[in-house]
Amino acid sequence: MAPGLKIAALTAILHETAARLRQNGGNEMNQIINMIVRRVMGKLINKGVNVGFDRASRIGKGKNGSTPQAPVSPEEDARRERAGREQGKQARKALKNMRRLGRF
């Protein structure tokens, strides 16, 4: 589905839901709109943070995206691989904890 069609479909659904909820009272409408806005803003913020980290990780690298490196021994390569996996685990744990904190 094209992005324009998705937006049109979501707009139609929101208008239909708004019309129904106006009959029942505005409080429910506010709750639904707040829920949708929270989800959209969360996704936008996550995307912005990811882009920021990607750009920050490219600072100091050459035009091709990496700096020239000397050959690395297999042991050093394995050590770097393990360290990278550990950092990934720590990052996932930190993200999970931040999500938990965001619920309160």
17 pLDDT above the threshold of 70:
yes
**Over the chain, what is the mean pLDDT?**
82
Phi and psi based region of residue 65 (left: phi greater than 0; alpha: psi -120 to 50; beta: remaining): left
Global pTM value:
0.37
Confidence of residue 16 (pLDDT cuts 50, 70, 90): confident
CB 65 within 8 A of CB 72: no
Nearest-angstrom CA–CA distance, 33 and 30: 5
Residues 63-87 have pLDDT tens digits of: 665 566 778 888 988 999 999 999 9
Q: Is 70 helix (H, G, I), strand (E, B) or coil?
A: coil
Domain ranges in the chain are 3-57+76-102
